[in-house]
Amino acid sequence: MVRELDAGVLRFHLEYELRLWLRRRVAGLHTEHPTALYLETSSYCEGACADCYVPAVDRRRHLELDADTLERLIADAERLPLAFVCLVGGEPLDGSVAERNLRLVREHPRTRFLICTSGEPQIGRDLVRELGTLCNLSLLVSFEGLAETHRRIRPRGSFERACAAVHTYRRQGRGMCGASITLRTDNWREATSRAFVESLTAAGCHFLSYAPCETRDGRQALDPERYAHALARLAALSASATALIFCHPFGQILGGKVPTVQRLRSLTVDYAGNVYTARRGPSFGNVHRTDLSTLLARPDLRASYGVPEATGAAPAPASRHQGGDRGGLRGVAAASDGSCG
């Protein structure tokens, strides 16, 4: 069967691959450098999701990266270069920070941005109009499974509202729209089922980005064997799925094949300026005290990307951040990268 892709999806995919190729061509760029930068611009979120990486007390406070720090980090990202910059939270489309986040996207048209949202803030006419004018932006909406599972993991969320956010953006916006899915012991079979994939495609998702969930104590919620089974199920669906399917850290799954090397590496700066390669892993410094290029030169930070190649049908998941509204894309590069890097 011939797999049909619309022109927007094809353009997105070609841009994704081009950006990764350009990274490798930059003289002196180490392979241990990140492919994507995740910025927690604010801690605030009205949600109460299971295993959220933002402490509950901080989710009710407006702890933010200041404008000067964000400008400096974006400039660093443009020099590296990275495949994309992802704005996360907290909730990056909450009314308290949405305009500031969109201004950042608007003022840096050469940078590819991704905004990861729960889909809970209503995407009304004005917000859709604003999102639709930003050609360098793609939207990623978090899903945990079908309606009952989604509501259990995101008790203040709604599968229907998340689908409506995708549909509204797809109908009015010009950018790519995707879904971020975190895999856990209690949702991985449903989240890798044909019914789930087709429901998100029907809602308007151009791509799906999968990653193993990280628990509060820093462990992967899904063991390597189950993650390998999950990826095998996605690989079986990928040949006929209209949406592109990505997994972390290996990249795109296409035609029944799961990549065997790590292609996606993310770097997160939290709302306090702390730097992580895995959100619940060790901090490698703070951008308020040290510039990003100095932090990236740290041997221990670069060594943290040293994930062994996957072998056979059981790729071991890399440590990654999860939660809030980054979920997975970290994985999509042009939509950007993500992931959900």
User: Residues 6 or more apart from 27 whose CB is under 8 A from it?
Assistant: none
Q: Is the pLDDT of residue 329 over 50?
A: no
How far is 177 from 154, CA to CA, in rounded Å? 20
List the CATH number of the domain containing 134: 3.20.20.70
Q: Report yes or no on 256 lying in a domain.
A: yes
Which has more pLDDT, 111 or 83?
111
Q: What is the pLDDT of residue 209?
A: 93
Average pLDDT over residues 95-123: 90
Which burial class, exposed, middle or buried, applies to 56 when counting CB atoms under 10 A from its CB (0-12, 13-18, 19+)?
Answer: exposed
**Spatial distance between the Cα atoms of 24 and 213, rounded to a whole number of angstroms:** 29
Taking 70 as the threshold, does the pLDDT of residue 59 lie above it? Answer: yes
DSSP code, position 145:
S
For residue 318, the model assigns a pLDDT of 36
Position 255 confidence tier, pLDDT thresholds 50, 70, 90: confident
Place 57 in a pLDDT band, splitting at 50, 70 and 90.
confident
Residue 227 and residue 183 in contact, taking contact as beta carbons nearer than 8 Å: yes
DSSP state string for 81-139: T-SEEEEESS-TTSTTTHHHHHHHHHT-TTS-EEEEE-S-S---HHHHHHHHT-TTEEE
Give the pLDDT band (50/70/90) at residue 25. low
In terms of C-beta density within 10 A (0-12 exposed, 13-18 middle, 19 or more buried), how is residue 222 classed?
buried
Interatomic CA distance for residues 118 and 169, integer angstroms: 13
Mean pLDDT of the chain: 79
Q: Which 3 state secondary structure label does DSSP give 212?
A: strand
Q: Mind listing the pLDDT tens digit for each residue in 204-238?
A: 999 999 988 876 666 677 888 999 999 999 999 98
Give the residue among 33, 24, 75 at the shortest CA–CA distance from 291.
Answer: 75
315 assigned to some structural domain: no
* 13 band by pLDDT with thresholds 50, 70 and 90: low
Question: What is the edge-to-edge ordering of all strands in the sheet holding 207-212?
Answer: 251-253, 244-247, 207-212, 177-183, 137-143, 113-117, 84-88, 36-40, 266-269, 275-276
Mean pLDDT score, 332-339: 34
Q: Does residue 136 sit within a domain?
A: yes
Q: pLDDT exceeding 70 applies to what percent of the chain?
A: 77
Mean pLDDT of 127-137: 86
Q: Which two tokens stand for residue 222?
A: 């899904």
Please indicate, yes or no, if residue 338 is contained in any of the structural domains. Answer: no
Query: What range defines the domain where residue 135 resides?
Result: 7-20+31-303
Q: How far is CA 328 from the centre of its chain?
A: 4
pLDDT digits (tens, 9 = 90+) for 258-285: 777 777 888 999 999 999 988 778 899 9
* Residue 39 pLDDT level (bands cut at 50, 70, 90): very high
Residue 78 lies in a domain: yes
In-domain check, residue 96: yes
CA pair distance 227, 42, nearest whole angstrom: 31
pLDDT per residue as tens digits for the range 137-148: 989 999 999 999
Q: Name the least confident of 32-36, 159-163, 207-211, 315-319.
A: 315-319
Q: Say how many domains are in the chain.
A: 1
Considering the domain boundaries, does residue 1 fall inside one? no
The verdict on residue 2 lying in a domain is: no
Mean pLDDT along residues 146-158 = 92
Lowest mean per-residue pLDDT among 19-23, 31-35, 46-50, 99-103 = 19-23
